[in-house]
């Protein structure tokens, strides 16, 4: 889960920097390790974007690194504080037809930090037993899904306004939706 979240952050970082040139300039000023012109030329000749080069200089391996790396992308209060106060109004189609307002759970930062600590411990000690109880694992899975969807919702609002692809209402997927095997492909109103 943690590695998937890191990949999500890395890809999000690239997406935003490719979309927002002034932000890219601001981020570049903070990067201490500068690649040589030869390295940049070689990478870009191979099809790597400048935003991808910048993204390769940040890491997302702890809650502190995630906040430090993403906070400029979530002004004015930073990434974690933005999630703390974000209210996500959405539909959860598998549960209700009513709109719901979701917020981060009270203890989310501690659980978020634990994800990285657990992964770090498991990666660095091959003999360590992964003894996370099933109920705790389910809570962590739900948290990762919530963080990713809230983060995406904030970005969509910033760059595209309030509207979303599904009739202007953001959809929130829960774990049960992702593992369901009864999905059906249906035509949209345009016949596609």
Quick one: pLDDT at residue 17?
87
Quick one: pLDDT at residue 64?
93
CB–CB of 118/132 below 8 Å?
A: yes
- Note the Cα 175 to chain centre separation in Å: 16
Quick one: pLDDT at residue 162?
64
- Nearest alpha-carbon partner for 40 in 29, 30, 32, 48: 48
- Nearest alpha-carbon partner for 17 in 57, 54, 60, 66: 54
Residue 13, both tokens:
């970082």
Query: Cα 183–189–192 angle (5° rounding)?
Result: 70
| Residue 154, number of CB atoms within 10 A of its CB | 17
Query: pTM for the complete prediction?
Result: 0.78
Alpha helices in the chain (DSSP H): 2-19, 21-30, 37-45, 50-55, 63-70, 79-85, 108-124, 134-160, 175-179
Share of the chain above pLDDT 90, in %: 23
C-alpha 177/C-alpha 134 separation (Å) is: 18
Question: What does the pLDDT look like over 81-130, one tens digit per residue?
Answer: 999 999 988 888 778 778 889 999 999 999 999 988 887 777 777 777 77
**The residue count for the chain:** 192
Quick one: pLDDT at residue 69?
87
Helix (H) and strand (E) counts in the chain? 9, 2
Q: Is the pLDDT of residue 166 over 60?
A: no
Quick one: pLDDT at residue 164?
47
- Nearest alpha-carbon partner for 79 in 107, 92, 106, 60: 60
Looking at every residue in the chain, the average pLDDT score rounds to: 82
C-alpha 159/C-alpha 136 separation (Å) is: 35
Per the model's pLDDT, the better-predicted residue between 47 and 9 turns out to be 9
Q: Of the ranges 4-8, 83-87, 123-127, 167-171, which one carries the lowest mean pLDDT score?
A: 167-171
Quick one: pLDDT at residue 186?
73
Residue 9, both tokens:
């952050």
- Nearest alpha-carbon partner for 79 in 54, 104, 101, 55: 104
Quick one: pLDDT at residue 147?
94
CB–CB of 139/1 below 8 Å?
A: no
Which whole number is the average pLDDT over 19-31?
A: 78
């Amino acid at each position: 889960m943690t590695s998937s979240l890191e990949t999500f952050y890395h890809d999000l970082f690239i997406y935003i920097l490719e979309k927002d040139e002034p932000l890219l300039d601001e981020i570049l000023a903070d990067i201490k390790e500068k690649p040589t012109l030869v390295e940049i030329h070689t990478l870009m000749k191979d099809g790597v974007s400048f935003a991808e080069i910048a993204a390769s200089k940040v890491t997302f391996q702890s809650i502190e690194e995630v906040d430090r790396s993403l906070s400029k992308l979530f002004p004015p209060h930073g990434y974690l504080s933005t999630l703390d106060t974000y209210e996500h109004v959405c539909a959860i189609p598998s549960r209700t037809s009513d709109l719901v307002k979701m917020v981060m759970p009270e203890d989310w930062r501690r659980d978020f930090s634990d994800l990285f600590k657990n992964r770090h411990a498991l990666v660095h000690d091959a003999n360590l037993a992964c003894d996370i109880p099933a109920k705790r694992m389910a809570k962590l899975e739900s948290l990762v899904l919530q963080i990713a969807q809230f983060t995406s919702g904030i970005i969509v609002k910033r760059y595209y306004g309030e509207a979303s692809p599904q009739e202007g209402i953001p959809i929130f997927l829960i774990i049960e939706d992702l593992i369901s095997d009864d999905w059906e492909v249906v035509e949209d109103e345009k016949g596609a």
